[in-house]
Structure formats: C-alpha cells, structure tokens
Amino acid sequence: MPTIEVSYKDLCGLIGRKLSIEQLKDLILFAKGEIDAADGDLLKVDIKDANRPHLWSAEGIAREIKGRYTSPGCPKYSIGKSSVVVNVDKKNKNVRPYTVCAIAKNLKVTQDVLSQLIQLQEKIHGTFGRNRKEVAMGVYDLNKIKSPIRFTTVKPDGIKFAPLDFQEKMTPKEILEKHPKGKEYGHLLKDCKEYPIFIDSANEVLSIPPIINSNHTGKITEKTKDVFIECSGFNFKFLMPALNVIVSALYDRGAKIESVKVVYPDQTIVTPNMEPKKAFVDMDYANKISGLNLTSSDAVKLLKKSMYNPVVKGKRIEVEYPAYRQDILHQRDIVEDVIISYGFNNIEPVIPKVNTVGNSDEREEYSNKISGIMSELGFQGVLSYTLTNKDNLFGKMNVKEEQIVEIENFVSLNWNVFRNWMLPSLMEFLSNNQHVSYPQNIFEIGDVVLIDEKEETKTRTVRKIVAVTSDSRINYQNVSSVLDALMNKMNLSYKLVKSKHSSFIEGRVANVVAKNKVIGFVGEIHPSVLKNWKLEMPCAAFEINLEGV
C-alpha cells in the first residue's frame, strides 16, 4: 500500500483549520490512512487502498477530511478553455497511442506544492500506472512551450535534447543507455523502432515518455506559474482518472484549470473531463451489507460526507461522485463509503440471535477425500493462483482465445485474468520445477471462474481437479489408468469418448463423460505446448469438473 509524506502545517492549511496530531490520527481514517510516524513537521501516512490514487497526496487527504467539516457533497470544478492543441501522430498507434492533457494556471508553486506534485506523480507511476507502462505523466512549464504540440515518434538517434537535470544534449538512444531513468525504464521501449516524443511547434522537446522530461520545458520550480500536464499510455480507462487526480490536486491549490484539445487521426477529444460520474445504491442492500439500520435520510447525510451528491428515489439512492474516482464498480463500493463515514468504531457489536455450530463445508470434505485418493496414487498436491494471464491460458496452450473474467484495474500483466481451466497452472508449475527429479506426478484441486450471466456478479466459481504426470516415458495410457483408479475410488461410472483438443496430441485425447455430460478431458500433451512451456519431458494430464458428480 502507498506510504506518503506530507507536511503537518501544509495539511492543516489545506483543511482550513489547525488540528492536533491526535485529531488528525482519527480524521485520516476517513481517507483510509494511518499516521505511521510524526517527525516534527513531517508526517508519514500509510494509505490502506491501492486503488484510490486521489488519496495519495496532502490535497486528497485534506479533501476527504474537509468533506466531514465544511465541504460535503461532490466537488464542482470550473474548467476554462485554452488555445493549446495536441496533435497525435498515427505513428504512435503501435508505440504509445494515447494521451490526455490539461492546463493549470496561476499556480503558486511552493516547496510543499512541488514535493506533493512529484510524490503524487511517482505514486501514480509506480502503482496505478504499472511502473509507467499504463500511465506515464509529465508536467511542464507552459510558458516555455509553443502550441500546437505534437505527440509523435522519433528514431533512436533522430533528435538531441538535454534530459531533466542534465546539461548535455543526448539522443533518445543515449538517454536510455546513460540517464538513470533511461536505465530504469528503458525496457518499456526496447522493442520499438521509434520512440514516442512530445515536441512543440518550435521543435523544443517536452519529453520522451515514459522515460524522462526535457530539462528546458520539464523542470518545474517555485518560479513556475502555469503548467501543461500530459498523461500517455495505452488505455483511456487509466489515463483519464490519472489526469483528473492531478487536476483536482492543483485545483485545490488554487490553480485555474483549462482544457486542451487533443486531435487524433480518427477523433478529437477535449480533456480533462471533470463532470461527476453516476451510480446508485439500494437501501435494503446497503443495510444488509453494512449490518446497520439506516434510513434514507441517514444514508444521504453519510454519502454527502463521503463527497457524493445523493438523491432519494424510493428505496434507491442515485448518486453523483467525483470524476477522479475510478474505484466505484458496484454499489457495495458505495456502501463501504457509507460505513467509513458512519465510523467502523461506532458500529455496535451484536450477539447473534440464533446460536450456530460450525461444520465443515461439504464441498471441502469431498475435495479432501479426493485429495487423499490422489496421494494414495502417488501424486503430490500443489497450490497455484486463480489469477493468471491470457498467454498462459491460451497462447502457450495452443487454444483459441475465448471470453473470460478479467481484472479491470489489474496490478500486473502476469495476473490480470481469472483462469477458466486449471491445466495451464500445472504446466507453469512443471516449467518452474525442471530441476526436481523425475517422474513428477502432481495434482491440484481448486477453483476456476466462469462467465455466467444468470448470476448477480455475472460469474460462477467451479471446483475442478487437474493432474499431470511427466517423465521420459509418459503416454496416454499412464494418465488414463490414474483417472480410472480415481473414478473407481469415487464410485463414479464414466466413459471416454474420442475427441480433439489443440493442447493434446491428436488421437491421444478423449472427453470424460459421466451422468450423460462431459465433465472433463484426458490426454497426452502436444509437443508444441511442451515447447511453449520450455519443457523437455513428455506430459500427460486429465482435468475434470467436480461440481455435480
């Protein structure tokens, strides 16, 4: 979770009242934070939410606290219109295709403002921005820039400029080789024949994103009054909230915000868009989830403190919330804010009216029984993650990509989808354990997540078992005999029906049919799949659905 540093004096100034450290310790809980240390004027604050970047600065914390005092409801932002235009070249499509921009004028840059701006940028880069891959942000001295600005590409040796904190002019290639930021983030451009670049109409370089700003336009000091802000990346769903977070912070510092026209080859957009977003919460649902017994009037007061604009419509409350928030995915998220405003410490513990005795879950007991059988058959149980990536599920397994459950705001490209079958997880396990002696006989009983439009969450969790055996002389007969022993021990009648599966060798794969339905498959892994996983030993496997058998 992000840990940030703020000035006690600056924070109190932003809140608009002097508060003691003890008072702040209580109030910062509303911003999902805790004060870890107070050293003179310096406060170290641990923010307990990695999905709310607007809280990662003094401005964001102060905004949440003020909502409990003098500024309840969704904040309003007045956005002017600038004459600045950014033209995006079609060459950026396969390099770094998108950018969103804004102007902040009449900014009083103090050391506190500067430190918070830099800190907020870096926190967004490192977490929300996936180490600058999804979001790279630049802030520049507007008065050193001549519009229109071009967002285009340049060859590695195609131009020279002095990068931030350097006086020597260097080519982009030299920056990646010599500059500290080039060494740290150069891998993001390693496969690019040309590099993205922001350059103005006077041919002054602004930056090579996502690496470094220029020393001329990209150095912000206490003398800077007007700034140009850009966020570049691959998806507007990351870029828009990131820009809005920075804009709202500068707005709270008294800056006048103006929009920028961004012209793409196929569309023109105007950013930032600070119009409130909309959602709703059902009161019966809110009381059920929270355990509280709130009236609509109670909920409205609490929602206003959480910076919503609520309107009661029967048993439902429709809300507007700030544009910088991208974490409201379900009404449960709104209920969480209601509880935060109510105060977790204010919730009275209630003794349940009905005494209950804990029992083992039937599905877990069944899974444990099967686990015991597999151990008797000489297989070792393993545990792997339910989260994985599309390349593991489809690319390396030689199967056609299909619709699966994906994480919208994922932290890592390696863990951004839920698995819809388990065999890839065990193939990855074997790939990482080739140093262990053979034969390797492993199994896992675990869950996969499937799309199901009938469910409230549009998903369904299914329990499965997968087993893989690997050795120099492993074939279909070896694994099918293990499957037969397991099914007999489970007292389950089944049959094998010849089938085709691109992960397996043709003619050495079959569907497992029980109770007149296909519950899985068994077969010998195709050599091309073994090659994809860098496996040298043959493998055979089966995977079956344990639901309803």
pLDDT string in tens for the chain (549-residue length)? 789 999 999 999 999 989 899 999 999 999 999 999 998 999 999 998 888 999 999 999 999 998 887 778 999 999 999 999 999 999 999 899 999 999 999 999 999 999 999 999 999 998 888 889 889 999 999 999 999 999 999 999 999 999 998 989 999 999 999 999 999 999 999 889 999 999 999 999 999 999 999 999 999 999 999 999 999 999 998 899 999 999 999 999 999 999 999 999 999 999 999 999 999 999 999 999 999 999 999 999 999 999 999 999 999 999 999 999 989 989 999 999 999 999 988 888 888 777 777 888 888 999 999 999 999 999 999 999 999 999 999 999 999 989 999 987 776 778 889 999 999 999 999 999 988 899 999 999 999 999 988 888 889 999 999 999 999 988 899 999 999 999 999 999 999 999 999 999 999 999 999 988 999 999 999 999 999 999 999 999 999 999 877
Is 163 among the domain residues?
yes
Q: 521, exposed or middle or buried, with CB in 10 Å at 0-12, 13-18, 19+?
A: buried
User: What's the distance, CA 355 to chain centroid?
Assistant: 41
Residue 160 lies in a domain: yes
Please enumerate in sequence order all residues whose Cβ is within 8 A of that of 243, keeping only pairs 6 or more positions apart, or say none. Answer: 100, 101, 102, 137, 229, 231, 271, 272
Give the residue from 244, 271, 298 where a domain finishes: 271
Nearest to 249 by CA among 401, 91, 118: 118
Examine the domain organization and report whether 104 and 188 are in the same domain: yes
d(C-alpha 3, C-alpha 291), whole Å: 31
Q: Are residues 256 and 288 in the same domain?
A: no
Instruction: Say if residues 229 and 103 touch (Cβ distance below 8 Å).
Output: yes
Token readout for 547 is 């639901």
> How large is the angle between the packed helices 296-305 and 283-290, nearest 10 degrees?
70
Count other C-beta atoms under 10 Å from residue 434's C-beta.
14
Are 317 and 450 members of one domain?
no
Q: HEC profile for 332-346?
A: HHHHHHHHHHHCHHH
| Residue 71 within a domain | no
> Where do we find the tokens 């007292």?
491
Q: How far apart are CA 107 and CA 34, in angstroms?
A: 29
Residue type for 384, please? S
Using alpha carbons, select from 437, 440, 458 the residue that is nearest to residue 449. Answer: 458
Say if 353 falls within a structural domain.
no
Cis amide leading into 163 (omega within 30): no
Q: Is residue 102 part of a domain?
A: yes
Q: Are residues 399 and 524 in the same domain?
A: yes
- Encoded tokens for 298: 């109670």
Q: What is the pLDDT of residue 411?
A: 64
Residue 5: phi and psi, rounded to 5, are: -115, 135
Interatomic CA distance for residues 193 and 215, integer angstroms:
24
Asked if residue 313 belongs to a domain, the reply is yes
Q: Does residue 257 contact residue 75 with C-beta atoms inside 8 Å? A: no
3-state secondary structure of 451: strand
Kindly state whether residues 201 and 303 are assigned to the same domain: no
Distance CA 379, CA 468 (A): 9
Distance set, CA 369 to CA 364, 365, 373 (Å): 9, 6, 7
| Rounded-to-integer distance, Cα 100 and Cα 267, Å | 13
CA-CA-CA-CA dihedral for 85, 91, 96, 99, to nearest 10: 10
Total residues belonging to the chain: 549
Element of type H or E holding 232: strand 227-233
* 482 located within any domain: yes
Q: What stretches of 83-230 show up as alpha helix (H) in DSSP? A: 111-123, 172-178, 180-185
- Full 3-state SS string of 6-57: EEHHHHHHHHCCCCCHHHHHHHHHHHCEEEEEEECCEEEEEECCCCCHHHCC
**How far is the C-alpha of 250 from the C-alpha of 159, rounded, in Å?**
32
Nearest to 123 by CA among 263, 3, 260: 3
Q: Which of 128, 110, 109 is nearest to 120 (CA)?
A: 128
CATH number for the domain that contains residue 520? 3.30.930.10
Last residue of a domain, one of 66, 90, 116: 66
Domain count, the chain: 4
Token pair belonging to 220: 């912000």
* pLDDT value at residue 415: 84
pLDDT, residue 71, reads 72
Q: Which residues pair with 125 in a beta bridge?
A: none
- Tell me, yes or no, whether 55 and 103 share the same domain: no
Residue 337 lies in a domain: yes
Is the domain of 510 the same as that of 404? yes
Question: What residue type is assigned to position 355 of the chain?
Answer: N
Please check whether residues 289 and 402 belong to one and the same domain: no
CATH number of the domain enclosing 129: 3.50.40.10
- CATH number of the domain encompassing residue 41: 3.30.56.10
Residue 384 and residue 426 in contact, taking contact as beta carbons nearer than 8 Å: yes
* pLDDT at residue 373 in the model: 95
Contact between 4 and 57 under an 8 Å Cβ cutoff? The reply is yes
Residues 419, 328: one domain? no
Q: Which two tokens stand for residue 527?
A: 């050599």
Torsional sign, CA 263, 267, 270, 274: negative
Token pair 């499965």 is found at 464
C-alpha 523/C-alpha 476 separation (Å) is 6
Strand order of the β-sheet with 33-39 is 3-7, 42-47, 33-39
Q: Verify that 287 and 259 share a domain, yes or no.
A: no
User: How does strand 504-514 pair with strand 316-321?
Assistant: unpaired
Range of the domain at 215: 79-271
**Are 242 and 53 spatial neighbours (Cβ–Cβ below 8 Å)?**
yes
- Are both 426 and 504 inside the same structural domain? yes
- Torsion from C-alpha of 277, 279, 283, 287, nearest 10 degrees: -80
Given a contact cutoff of 8 angstroms between Cβ atoms, the answer to whether 133 and 121 are in contact is no
Residues 380 and 450 occupy one common structural domain: yes
Nearby residues of 314 by Cβ (< 8 Å), 6 or more positions away: none
End-of-domain residue from the set 218, 248, 271:
271
Exposed/middle/buried for residue 313 (C-beta within 10 Å: 0-12, 13-18, 19+): exposed
HEC secondary structure over 114-151? HHHHHHHHHHHHHHHCCCCCCEEEEEEEHHHCCCCEEE
Residues 6+ apart with CB under 8 A from 203: none
